[in-house]
Each structure stands twice: as structure tokens, then as C-alpha cells.
């Protein structure tokens, strides 16, 4: 969706042009006006403007000067100039300054529509070209480290990504991995000394560790590295095979263990750093990554602790203590995140997955049922309090029913209890959402009613009510079926009709009271609404 700015020192001319067309059919969702060059500059510093329509001859700053200034401030903003017949040379000069086209005053609706259509089409094509341009590729390359890190963190958290999308992202991020690869996970804790308190020096040393790892593994293994949420270095490592479909060699785990041992020694010798490392066996990417990562963290917690300079390698599945945990409780996005964002269908699916995992797994102890109960209790309670409500306000006494049952309440009872709470939260959120939107509409209308004699715009109202203008505009239109501009126009015309019939005030004074300082423009918009002039309306209906 696009935004347009109309600039003319004659206010009625700018306002008239702003209501001359159904702008939304051109993909324009916001029409702004300014009555001078400096005011236009101020708007462009504050708002995104895709298309500028400006008069040429204006006091202080001419349209040509405005186009030139905007060329520096917002090079992608396109300009159309308005010109009188005796200013044709100025129009040609504007074209030389980069204006797309010019219109002769008075502007005819048909001509304006043609020029706007052409301009918007050109802007769309330019953006489409930009997306596919080398600049986009350069931007991608500059952000590759962040993108690679974010993707790996999603995978270790267990976020589900389809094979096709994962492979496409790996290709786009220039990572020599693909779904289904056999890969090991290496988690490294750098044990910093007091002299490493400086964040920049730490980042440089971490970068050096990564470089050493890549150099030691070159020709044998391919690495994908990032920092994990605990500030550990995380490496996903696969064997560097000529044939990607080939099975990793039997000795690949032993070879990788030697390489990681060499890495530990090199970091200690060259960088004077002590590190502790946990290495997992090879598994399937991405399916085994969440389990490998949790087991590596558990090893740091249970076996390494505060010890320094240790290296632990789990040789095979049988040598590892299988951690029993509910996978879907830790999988991202969490149940709370889905509920917070109003993704109720996904939240209900998540709840089904959690209970499905219980029903089909080895969680036979009642203790695991209690774990799930505490997880759900925390989710519902925290979400209620985060929304400045009490659980009693949302679900009544339903929340407190389960704990009063016997301590060995069943999984079925827990599922029914949680489903009831989920439904109550969903209904509460939808009612609150609807109420908030109605409240916003009421506030907008009260403000308009109280300031009808002033110059009103979406930006002005949004600023006074402390909302984003786009958001406010969409909420109002979705709730009422009309734009704020339409409501202001309709209300002003209704008030004008009442004043014409109930008072003897002059047409000029009525227009002034309703925010139309230019009587000619007031008569024009009144006639457009009622199909008669104000004076004719008064004479016919009195």
C-alpha cells in the first residue's frame, strides 16, 4: 500500500484534490496534505511518501526547490507537478529535475487518474526490481551471520521447519548443509578470566576460536557455528563428503574427536584460553539437534559443573543417560507465546500435541502428570497477570477445580481441565479485543466532535491519541466500514445542514466553525454532499 502527499499553498486546492478520487483503488491508503514546502519537508521526515503532487509556484519554497530537496531526503519518492498555462516552462524544468509528469490547473479527474495510475505502476515496478536486485543480495550477505545464527537457534529449540523451506534457507544463507545430513553437535564453554571482561575482546577471541576450528577441520568436516542463549559456542559439524548422498565413514566420529581435541589444545596454546567441550554422536539434521543440545546442556550441568578444561564425548546412544522430558513443552513457539499472539488454532494444536506425546510415550509416573499441570498452571496464570487480570476474572472457579481433586488425578481429567481454560481464555481475549477496538472508535469520534472546527487529519488524531496513524486508520475502517476522513466529512456536512436550518449565521461563518476557512471550498464540498449549495439548501428546507 502506498502513501501520497499533496502540496499547495492554496489550502482549498490541496484539500479538494485530496478528496477528488477514490485513492484506495490505486493502492493508496493514506493521503496527506501540506500547504507549504517546509511543511512538506517536515511530513517527509516523519512519514513515508511514495508519491508527491506539488504546485510549482508557492511562496518561500517553490515546487522545483521542494522536488530538489526531496531528491536528497527521499530519493525514491516520485513527484508530479501542478502548473498553470503560463508556467509551462517551469513544468518542463520540473521534468528535468526528475518529476514523473505534470498536470495543468484546473486538474480534471480523468487526467489525474491516468497520471496516478502510471505513477503507481512505475513505483511498483521499481520496488519489484529492487527486491531482485544486487542490492538485496548485498544486504543479505551483510546479514548472513545473524540469519545463520537465528536459523540454528530455531532448530536447537525444536522449531518445526519443513524440509523444502529448510533446504531453501540453507542454500540462501550459503550453508553447506541440507535436511537429512548426518551431523554432530559440539558445545563449547569458554572459561573467561578477569582480563577478558571487555565485550569487544571477547567477541574477537570467539571469532578467533571459530576460525581455528574451521582451519583444523578444513577438508575433513564442514562447520556451522553460532552463540547459544547461554553464551556458549555451538557448532554443527558434518563430514566433508564429495558425494552428499554417501554414508559418513565409520571412523568419522573418531576423526572429529581428534580434531576437537586439537582445537582445545590450539585455543589453550595460541589464545591462552581454557575451554570445556561436549561432543555428541552423529545424528540426523535437524531431527536430532534439539535432543543433542539438551543432552549437551545436561552434561555441562551434571558432569562438568564448575570444572574447567574438560572434554566429554558421548560415543553412542547406549552410553548416554537418556533424559526423559516432554518434547512439546520445550518446542518453540511455546503455548504461552501462541496464546499471547492470539494464534488460538495453533495453541489448541500445541495442546493436543503435548497430550498426544503423553498418551503415546513412557511418562508413566504421576510425577510427569504433575509436571504438565504446573506447566499449564504457570502458562495460564502468567498470561492472565500479564494482561492485568486475575484468573478468577477470566475463568471463574474453573482454575481451582483440579487441585482440589485427588493427588492422582488422571491425564484425561487434566486434558479436560486445560481445554476448558483454553476456551475461557480465547473467549475473554476476543471480547477484550472487540471492546478495545470499540473503545478506540469512541475515542476517535469524541476527539473529532470536540475539534470539528480545527484542521483534522488522521495524523493529527493519531498523534493526540498516541497511536500509530496506520493502525488507527485500519481499526476505525474495520470497525465502522468507513474511513475517518469520510466520517469527518459526513459529520461536518450534517452539522452544516443543522446550522443552516437552525441559525441565521452566514455561510462563511458556518464554514469557519466547521473547519473550512475558505468559503468557496466549503460551498464546493457541501454541494458534492447534498447536490445543492448551502444557500439553496437553506431556502429549500426552511
Which CATH number goes with the domain that contains 506? 1.10.10.60
pLDDT band at 490 (very low <50, low <70, confident <90, very high): very high
40 and 149, same domain (yes or no):
no
103 and 23, same domain (yes or no):
yes
Helix (H) or strand (E) holding 384: helix 366-386
- CA 125 to chain CA centroid, nearest Å: 24
CA distances from residue 12 to 34, 40, 507, 515, 530 in whole angstroms, order as listed: 11, 16, 16, 11, 19
Cell 471463574: give the residue. 396
Strands 311-313 and 274-279 come out as parallel
Q: How far apart are CA 63 and CA 54, in angstroms?
A: 6
Cell 496513524: give the residue. 469
Q: Is residue 446 assigned to a domain?
A: no
Contact, 339 vs 347, CB < 8 A?
yes
Query: Does 316 have pLDDT greater than 70?
Result: no
Q: Is residue 381 assigned to a domain?
A: yes
Q: How far apart are CA 7 and CA 60, in angstroms?
A: 13
Q: Is residue 508 assigned to a domain?
A: yes
pLDDT band at 248 (very low <50, low <70, confident <90, very high): low
Contact, 118 vs 101, CB < 8 A?
yes
First to last CA, the chain: 45
Contact, 239 vs 251, CB < 8 A?
no
Q: How far apart are CA 313 and CA 320, in angstroms?
A: 10
Cell 444557500: give the residue. 535
The predicted structure's pLDDT at residue 166? 94
Mean pLDDT score, 32-53: 90
Query: Does 182 have pLDDT greater than 80?
Result: yes
Strands 221-227 and 233-239 come out as antiparallel
- CA 116 to chain CA centroid, nearest Å: 30
- List % helix, strand, coil for the chain (3-state, nearest 5): 60, 10, 30
Cell numbers describing residue 360: 503415546
245 and 332, same domain (yes or no):
no
164 and 311, same domain (yes or no):
yes
Contact, 274 vs 265, CB < 8 A?
no
Residues linked to residue 75 through DSSP beta bridges, in sequence order: none
Query: Does 129 have pLDDT greater than 70?
Result: yes
pLDDT in tens, 195-230: 777 777 888 899 999 999 999 999 999 999 999 988
Q: Which residues contact 237 (CB under 8 A, 6 or more apart)?
A: 183, 184, 185, 186, 217, 221, 222, 223, 224, 256
Q: Is residue 498 assigned to a domain?
A: yes
516 and 373, same domain (yes or no):
no
348 and 315, same domain (yes or no):
no
Q: How many domains does the chain have?
A: 4
Helix (H) or strand (E) holding 29: strand 28-34
Q: How far apart are CA 492 and CA 504, in angstroms?
A: 18
Q: Which residues contact 7 (CB under 8 A, 6 or more apart)?
A: 14, 33, 34, 35, 36, 37, 39, 40, 52, 53, 54, 55, 58, 63, 66
Strands 51-55 and 28-34 come out as unpaired
Q: How many Cβ atoms sit within 10 Å of the Cβ of residue 356?
A: 11
Q: 434 or 497: whose pLDDT is higher?
A: 497
477 and 428, same domain (yes or no):
no
Q: Which of 356, 335, 332 is nearest to 346 (CA)?
A: 335
399 and 457, same domain (yes or no):
no
Q: How many Cβ atoms sit within 10 Å of the Cβ of residue 292?
A: 26
Cell numbers describing residue 80: 508530479
6 and 115, same domain (yes or no):
yes
Contact, 70 vs 44, CB < 8 A?
yes
Q: 378 or 408: whose pLDDT is higher?
A: 378
* DSSP designation for 346: H
The predicted structure's pLDDT at residue 505? 92
pLDDT band at 1 (very low <50, low <70, confident <90, very high): confident
Mean pLDDT score, 16-39: 85
Q: Is residue 66 assigned to a domain?
A: yes
Q: Which of 113, 109, 3, 94 is nearest to 54 (CA)?
A: 94
Domain boundary among 132, 167, 195: 132
Q: Which residues contact 149 (CB under 8 A, 6 or more apart)?
A: 226, 227
313 and 344, same domain (yes or no):
no
Q: 76 or 324: whose pLDDT is higher?
A: 76
Q: Is residue 17 assigned to a domain?
A: yes
Strands 274-279 and 101-104 come out as unpaired
Helix (H) or strand (E) holding 34: strand 28-34
22 and 124, same domain (yes or no):
yes
124 and 174, same domain (yes or no):
no
The predicted structure's pLDDT at residue 311? 93
Q: How far apart are CA 252 and CA 238, in angstroms?
A: 9
Cell 547461554: give the residue. 230
Query: Does 509 have pLDDT greater than 60?
Result: yes
Q: Is residue 238 assigned to a domain?
A: yes
Mean pLDDT over all residues of the chain? 85
Domain boundary among 289, 319, 349: 319
CA distances from residue 368 to 127, 325, 354, 373 in whole angstroms, order as listed: 54, 9, 12, 9
| Beta strand segments in 163-316, E | 182-191, 221-227, 233-239, 274-279, 283-284, 311-313
Q: Is residue 334 assigned to a domain?
A: yes
Q: Which of 305, 277, 301 is nearest to 190 (CA)?
A: 277
The C-alpha angle 448, 452, 458, rounded to 5 degrees, equals 50
Domain boundary among 433, 462, 486: 433
Q: How far apart are CA 170 and CA 168, in angstroms?
A: 5
- Percent of all residues in the chain with a pLDDT value above 90, rounded to a whole number: 34
* DSSP designation for 301: I
Q: In CATH, what number is assigned to the domain containing residue 197?
A: 3.30.70.270
The predicted structure's pLDDT at residue 318? 44
Q: How far apart are CA 301 and CA 309, in angstroms?
A: 14
Cell numbers describing residue 233: 559456542
Query: Does 253 have pLDDT greater than 50?
Result: yes
Which residue range(s) make up the domain with 253? 145-319
pLDDT in tens, 26-35: 888 888 999 9
- CA 479 to chain CA centroid, nearest Å: 23
Amino acid at each position: 500500500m502506498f502513501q501520497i502527499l499533496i502540496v499547495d499553498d492554496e489550502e482549498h486546492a490541496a484539500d479538494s484534490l485530496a478528496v477528488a478520487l477514490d485513492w484506495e483503488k490505486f493502492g493508496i491508503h493514506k493521503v496527506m496534505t501540506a500547504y507549504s514546502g517546509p511543511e512538506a519537508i517536515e511530513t517527509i521526515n516523519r512519514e513515508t511518501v511514495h508519491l508527491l503532487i506539488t504546485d510549482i509556484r508557492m511562496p518561500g519554497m517553490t515546487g522545483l526547490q521542494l522536488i530538489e530537496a526531496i531528491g536528497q531526503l527521499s530519493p525514491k519518492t516520485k513527484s508530479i507537478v501542478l502548473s498553470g498555462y503560463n508556467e509551462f516552462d517551469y513544468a518542463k524544468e520540473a521534468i528535468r529535475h526528475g518529476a514523473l509528469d505534470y498536470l495543468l490547473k484546473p486538474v480534471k479527474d480523468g487526467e489525474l487518474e491516468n497520471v496516478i495510475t502510471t505513477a503507481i505502476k512505475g513505483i511498483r515496478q521499481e520496488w519489484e526490481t529492487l527486491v531482485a536486485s544486487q542490492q538485496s543480495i548485498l544486504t543479505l550477505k551483510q546479514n548472513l551471520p545473524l540469519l545463520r545464527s537465528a536459523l540454528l537457534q530455531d532448530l536447537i529449540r525444536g522449531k518445526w521447519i519443513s524440509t523444502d523451506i529448510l533446504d531453501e534457507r540453507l542454500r540462501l544463507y550459503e550453508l553447506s548443509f541440507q535436511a537429512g545430513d548426518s551431523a554432530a553437535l559440539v558445545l563449547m564453554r569458554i572459561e573467561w578470566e578477569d582480563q577478558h571482561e571487555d565485550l569487544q575482546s571477547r567477541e574477537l577471541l570467539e571469532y578467533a576460536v571459530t576460525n581455528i576450528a574451521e582451519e583444523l577441520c578444513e577438508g575433513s568436516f564442514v562447520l556451522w557455528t553460532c552463540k547459544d542463549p547461554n553464551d556458549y559456542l555451538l557448532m554443527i559439524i558434518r563430514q566433508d563428503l564429495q558425494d552428499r548422498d554417501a554414508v559418513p565413514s565409520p571412523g568419522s566420529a573418531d576423526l572429529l574427536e581428534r580434531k576437537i581435541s586439537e582445537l582445545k589444545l590450539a585455543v589453550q596454546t595460541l589464545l591462552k584460553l581454557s575451554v570445556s567441550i561436549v561432543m555428541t554422536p552423529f545424528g540426523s539434521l535437524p531431527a536430532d539437534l534439539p535432543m543433542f543440545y539438551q543432552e549437551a546442556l545436561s552434561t555441562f550441568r551434571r558432569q562438568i559443573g564448575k570444572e574447567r578444561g574438560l572434554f566429554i564425548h558421548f560415543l553412542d546412544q547406549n552410553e548416554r543417560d537418556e533424559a526423559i522430558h516432554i518434547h512439546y513443552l520445550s518446542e518453540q513457539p511455546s503455548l504461552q507465546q501462541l496464546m499471547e499472539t492470539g494464534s488460538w488454532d495453533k495453541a489448541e494444536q500445541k495442546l493436543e500435541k503435548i497430550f498426544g506425546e503423553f498418551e503415546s510415550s513412557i511418562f508413566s509416573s504421576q510425577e510427569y502428570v504433575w509436571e504438565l499441570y504446573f506447566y499449564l498452571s504457570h502458562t495460564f496464570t502468567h498470561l492472565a497477570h500479564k494482561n492485568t487480570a486475575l484468573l478468577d476474572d477470566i475463568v471463574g472457579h474453573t482454575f481451582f477445580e483440579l487441585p482440589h481433586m485427588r493427588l492422582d488425578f488422571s491425564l484425561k481429567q487434566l486434558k479436560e481441565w486445560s481445554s476448558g481454560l483454553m476456551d475461557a481464555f480465547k473467549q475473554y481475549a476476543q471480547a477484550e479485543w472487540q471492546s478495545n477496538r470499540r473503545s478506540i472508535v469512541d475515542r476517535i469520534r469524541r476527539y473529532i466532535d470536540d475539534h470539528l472546527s480545527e484542521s483534522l487529519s488522521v495524523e493529527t488524531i493519531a498523534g493526540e491519541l498516541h497511536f500509530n496513524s496506520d493502525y488507527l486508520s485500519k481499526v476505525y475502517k474495520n470497525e465502522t466500514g468507513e474511513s475517518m476522513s469520510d466520517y469527518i466529512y459526513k459529520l461536518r456536512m450534517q452539522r452544516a445542514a443543522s446550522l443552516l436550518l437552525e441559525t441565521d449565521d452566514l455561510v462563511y461563518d458556518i464554514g469557519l466553525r466547521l473547519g473550512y476557512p475558505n468559503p468557496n471550498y466549503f460551498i464546493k464540498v457541501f454541494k458534492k454532499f447534498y447536490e445543492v449549495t448551502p444557500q439553496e439548501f437553506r431556502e429549500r428546507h426552511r
